[in-house]
Amino acid sequence: MFKKTQLAILGLALAASAPLQATTRATDYPGSVSLLMEMPAVREDLALSRDQTAQLHSLRQELKSRSQSLLKSPAAANTGLTQDQRLFALIDGNNARALALLTPTQFARFTEIQNQILSYSMLVSPQIQKQLRLTYRQKASIEALRIRGLEFVSEINRSYSSGAVSHKNRVDILRDYRMRQAEEMKSLLTPAQRNAFVALCGKPLPKS
């Protein structure tokens, strides 16, 4: 599986461009897809073309700019959506556009790579839960961790918006929390389920 140092780097980058929803959202693509694909090892493994790379870079820059703007602004009264809900929609839309750039083969491999890099945070994914045949009790425990994570991330984002927490501190806090949460989720699995998850990660990315 991808080295923990690389996991930490990704966590830092995700936190810099979005509220690190990879730790908390019940979706099959919980983090920034464009950011993940731009990592050199991922880009090389997927054999992305020059055009794909350019479009992904544009998507990542767009996500970074718009998410930081949202974090500094109050909820839009005319939409009735909270700040977090607007960020969710922004990330999901950006991810959909990034995934649409991939060929079927690249898409399948990307799924494996995402499992490697996001590690056991991927247990929030409905698809992963189905593939690992998690029990009702396991799903409930993961959901409790997910909700706790949502509350924590929202609290840190509010502190960042008010100026109580600096950008660097926010990145560090969310990165460390994400890694602890992934370990908590891992502890809920049986040995057989852990082996099954490793298999879903496919061929390991080259270490760097």
Q: Render pLDDT for 152-201 as a digit per residue (tens, 0 to 9).
A: 877 887 888 788 888 788 878 888 888 888 899 999 999 999 999 999 99
100 in any annotated domain: yes
Domains in the chain, number? 1
> pLDDT value at position 15?
40
What DSSP designation does 39 have? S
pLDDT over 80 (residue 105): yes
171 in any annotated domain: yes
133 in any annotated domain: yes
Q: What is the pLDDT of residues 5-54, one digit of tens each?
A: 454 444 434 444 444 444 456 788 887 899 899 999 999 999 999 999 99
208 in any annotated domain: no
174 in any annotated domain: yes
Q: What is the mean pLDDT of residues 58-76?
A: 78
- Global confidence as pTM: 0.76
Instruction: Look up the domain containing 183 and give its range.
Output: 4-200
| Dist. CA 81–CA 35, nearest whole Å | 25
Closest CA to 132 of 184, 204, 195, 203: 195
146 in any annotated domain: yes
Closest CA to 172 of 25, 7, 53, 16: 16
Q: Are 46 and 202 in contact (CB under 8 A)?
A: no
| Dist. CA 162–CA 141, nearest whole Å | 32
| Dist. CA 200–CA 208, nearest whole Å | 21
